[in-house]
Structure 1
Amino acid sequence: MHYSLFSKVLFVFIISVQYIHGVRRFLSVTETARAVQQLEDGHTQREVARRFGVSCSVISRLWTRFQTCHTYSRLPGQGRSRITSARQDRYLRTLALRNRQYTARALEHAFNGATGVHVSDQTIRNRLHEHGLRACRPARGPVLTPQHRVNRLRFARSHVNWQARHWSQVLFTDESRFHISTCDRRVRVWRQTGERYAQCNIVQHDRFGGGSVMVWGGICIQGRTELVVVNGGSVNAARYNNDILHPVVRPFAGAIGHDFILMHDNARPHTTRITRQYLDRETIEVMEWPARSPDLNPIEHVWDLISRRIAGRNTAPQTIQQLTQALLQEWMAIPQYMIRRLIISMRNRCRECITARGGTTSY
């Protein structure tokens, strides 16, 4: 007897907990009108509550309100009053916009000190959510001084009206280093609560990369250069001239014609005296490129695409030789129409740079 009574009580408790956490606590005006119509048709409050997925108390309150006031909407003054006024909410929004990197706790202290109204950090989040502000990871970009912005803006304004026929004469080049072991934070895992540090949910990588390969490449609308693997260190002025400019860039420039333009950044090997003398001797025109502008160089997207394709392979490269072979294969496997589309986007890149007043763009 006692066992059956205990079982009934336990069953009612479980059902109550599931009911409280699994149903809504309010209905919209349209749903309220439908619920009232069903009550007037003779359905019980329990049946209506089950159909709309709310508790019986919700149906009871709206039915009482309708019989008393003949309205479907909530009466003014119902619910807990807000501790902050509309003016204080606007001040909180302004405070968050002026201090973008403040945490909710820091905004709480600043708001309490300025207004004298003590609110919790969760209230701060709720008010900012109402204004469409949410905490997100910031975008990353290079450090830009005022002079960098001026140079970027000047470049964008002078090239924003270039058409595809103008960009077709430009060879975009750059060096990039690829590591065997990388962790770009893009890989996601399916896990349950409390399994963050389970062995199956940990992506292991070497902090120092476990070995790397430096490569150089160039792209244009008509094609691309061969991928040059720089063995044994980084690129210096002598290697840049002997291994890249003379055997790769010079023949490519001859194939394009007299209007050929070389684009390379302001790295030290590109601006040394011997490099400039060689380019002048070979009559190769060099595009004046603003410093710290990787977002304006379309080849950066090619490097990112190659990195993604290598990371997505069924068997990741384990040695320098395997990584080098994978880089050469993926470089040649990139469709030319993707490269063309990246270079055609230079007009939009310049427009965004002008809009940002020389600042970082979304590219």
Structure 2
Amino acid sequence: MITRTVSKDPRTTRGDLVNDLQRAGTKVTKATISNTLRRQGLKSCSARRIPLLKPVHVQARLKFAREHLDDPEEDWENVISSDETKIELFGKNLTRRVWRRKNAELHPKNTIPTVKHGGGNIMLWGCFSAKGPGRLIRVKERMNGAMYREILSDNLLPSARALKMKRGWVFQHDNDPKHTARATKEWLRKKHFKVLEWPSQSPDLYPIENLWRELKVCVAQRQPQHITALEEICMEDWAKIPATMKSA
């Protein structure tokens, strides 16, 4: 019954199972339930967060996957991806264990500083390819379409040259309204950029998301104390991430 119940509804809790079995006349503990499910190869894990997909999104993702299923690796090595992300000050502190004596839990060496509401944040734009990182810049104002096009003009082409991208390289960005605006599309067309068509609601397919996650973990481990340090650490750690990490 236990295995059948959780197979039908994986969100069933151990407490739910204890209550269901008690109503059926069987008394068990949560530990017994855990052991029983573990013997069946089932363990409790955090549910993964994934995009909420409508049928049209599913079809677009499937179409994209089929169209690129047999693309040679060399084609993907000729793609530059760009994106924006927000990095919080104190916002990604990792849980860390410390060796300490009794009643020393508040000693500065044994604590991780936190502040209300995250302590501030910075917005970054960056790009990368399989050959390594392109430029990373801080966006200090609210980004609109005009600013986005200026960022691409000032940073994307220099990044492509620095990375020694092959002729005919492909640009990839997501479907943010600033990216898909008519003026942006026209600007890209006039610059003769070849843009990779990208399915909506597909951050899990977007390779730069892995890079942002890696950057945020590295920054959190260094625990910057103010915004200036946060920006400096982001720039330093971005430059340190190897090309193999970005193409993973």
Q: Give the TM-score normalised by the residue count of structure 1.
A: 0.60
Q: Which runs of 5+ in 1 are unaligned?
A: 1-90, 343-363
Q: Which residue of 2 aligns with 1:92?
A: 2
1:170 is the counterpart of 2:73? no
**Counterpart contact for 1:173–1:218, Cα < 8 Å:** yes
Q: Which residue of 2 aligns with 1:33?
A: none
For 1:240-269, what per-residue CA distance to the aligned partner results, in whole angstroms no more than 9, with x for missing partners? 011x12122245557635522111011121
Match of 1:73 in 2: none
Report the CA distance between 1:318 and its aligned residue. 2.0
**Matching residue within 153, 160, 170 for 1:246:** 153
1:103 and 2:13 correspond: yes
Alpha-carbon distance in 2 for matches of 1:132, 1:271: 46
User: How far is the alpha carbon of 1:219 from its aligned partner?
Assistant: 0.8
| 1:227–1:331 Cα contact (<8 Å) kept | yes
1:263 counterpart (159, 169, 172): 172
- Give secondary structure in 2 for the equivalent of 1:289: coil
Q: Which digits, 9 at most, give the CA deviation of each residue in 1:114-169, with x for residues without a partner?
A: xx332224343343233222222222223233332222222222212222210122
Bigger RCO of structures 1 and 2 (CA < 8 A, at least 6 apart): 2
- The residue that corresponds to 2:91 in the other structure is 182
Q: Does 1:291 align with 2:200?
A: yes
Does residue 324 (structure 1) correspond to residue 234 (structure 2)? The answer is no
- Aligned counterparts, 1:1-363, within 5 A: 91-113=1-23, 116-122=24-30, 123-190=32-99, 198-199=105-106, 203-232=112-141, 234-242=142-150, 244-252=151-159, 256=165, 258-313=167-222, 316-339=223-246, 341-342=247-248
Kept after mapping to 2: 8 A contact 1:180/1:318: yes
Displacement of 1:174 after TM fit? 1.0
Query: What is the distance in 1 between the residues matched to 2:61 and 2:93?
Result: 28
Q: Do the aligned residues in 2 keep the contact of 1:182 with 1:206 (CA within 8 Å)? A: no
Structure of greater Rg: 1
Q: Deviations over 1:311-357 (max 9, x none)?
A: 333xx322222211222222222223433x42xxxxxxxxxxxxxxx
Q: How many residues align?
A: 243
Q: CA 1:137 to 1:222, structure 2 compared with 1: closer, same or farther past 3 Å?
A: closer
SS class of match (1:303):
helix
- Distance in 1, matches of 2:156 and 2:166, equals 12
Tell me which moved more, 122-131 or 166-175. Answer: 122-131
Native 8 Å contact 1:108 1:121 kept in 2:
yes
User: In 2, Cα distance between the equivalents of 1:258 and 1:164?
Assistant: 16
Unpaired runs of 5+ residues, structure 2, are none
Aligned to 1:350: none
Name whichever structure is richer in strand by fraction.
2
SS in 1 for 2:127: strand
Cα-to-partner distance string for 1:237-296 (whole Å, 9 max, x where unaligned) = 111011x12122245557635522111011121111111111111121211112232222
Identity of aligned residues (%): 31
Relative to 1, partners in 2 of residues 1:146 and 1:202: Cα closer, same or farther, differing over 3 Å?
Answer: farther
